[in-house]
Structure 1
Amino acid sequence: MPIYDLTDAGALPRQAKSMLDLNPFDLSSAPYIEAIGRHELYALLVQGLTRKQAELAHSQLTQYSDYAGTVAVRLDDETHWLLYGATLLHGYRLVGNQLRVLHDATEVAGDDERDLESFDYWRWSGLFDDVAWENIGLKGTMFDGFESAGHGAVLAEAEDLLDDLLEGVSREVMLRVGDLDPGLVEALHAALLALSTARTAEQYAQSGLSCRRFLERLADRLFPATDEKRNGRELGQDKWKNRLWAFAEDALDSSEASDFQFRLDDLGKRIDHWTDASNQAVHRPAITQIGATRLVVGLVSLTYDLVLLVEPPAELPTAGYEPHASTVLRRLLDDNG
Structure 2
Amino acid sequence: MNIALLFDASDPTLGSTYGDAVMRRVLRTGVLQRRQAHVRVSICDILTRTLTPDWPVPKILATVYFPTRFDRLRRESLERATVDSTVFCWLLQNLTEDAADELDTTIAATSGYLGAMDVSFGDPVQLAMFRQSLPEYIRFRGDVASVLYTGHNEDPDRALRELLESEGMTVTYEDIGARKTAFDHYTDPAHFRRIEYFQRIAAKLDGTSETMLSELALVIEEIHPELFDALNSAMRAIAAAETGEDLAHAALSGRRFLEALANYWYPARDQPVNGRKVGRPQYRNRLWAYLTEAAATADPPAPGEVAALGSALDELIDRFNAGVHATIGSARLEQTFSALLAWLTAAIRLNPHAAARPYLAYEPELMNYFRDLAQRVLRQTAQQASSPGRPGDEAPASQ
Normalised to the residue count of structure 1, the TM-score between the two structures is 0.45
Give 1 or 2: higher strand fraction.
2
Structure with higher RCO (Cα < 8 A, 6+ apart): 2
